[in-house]
Structure 1
Amino acid sequence: MRLVETSRAGSAIDTAEQQARVDLAAAHRLAVSHGFSEGIFNHFTLAVPGKNDRYYQIPFGLHWSE
């Protein structure tokens, strides 16, 4: 059973969603650069633009380096 979607074959990511993913990655890098990357209790969540029922977050229990 897969808990995390790893592939979106057959569907393209629109420009707004791609930019949101880039921004989320930048937020993670900024947090790491300021030392907010210890432990497993920190996270960022991204609401997918234009899709009220979809969001991205890292599964609980993963360290920032994973």
Structure 2
Amino acid sequence: MNTWTTGAGSGWKVSGGEGYLHYRVWAFCLAKHSVLRGEHMPSWINFLNSDVKKSFMKSMKYLQTGE
């Protein structure tokens, strides 16, 4: 994370992505959404990018077992 300060104020930004969520955050959000809907292995995961799908599966395991 980068911070900056000028005479007019200060702020911060997260490097890389410029306003977009990291794929791991998306994967966790999708997993949480699935758990809340009672979908333990939704069919739509086959449409996810391989990196997102891998993180989704790890997130599902964490949400379902706490590991």
TM-score, structure 2 normalization? 0.37
Larger of the two Rg values belongs to structure: 2
Structure having the higher strand fraction is 2
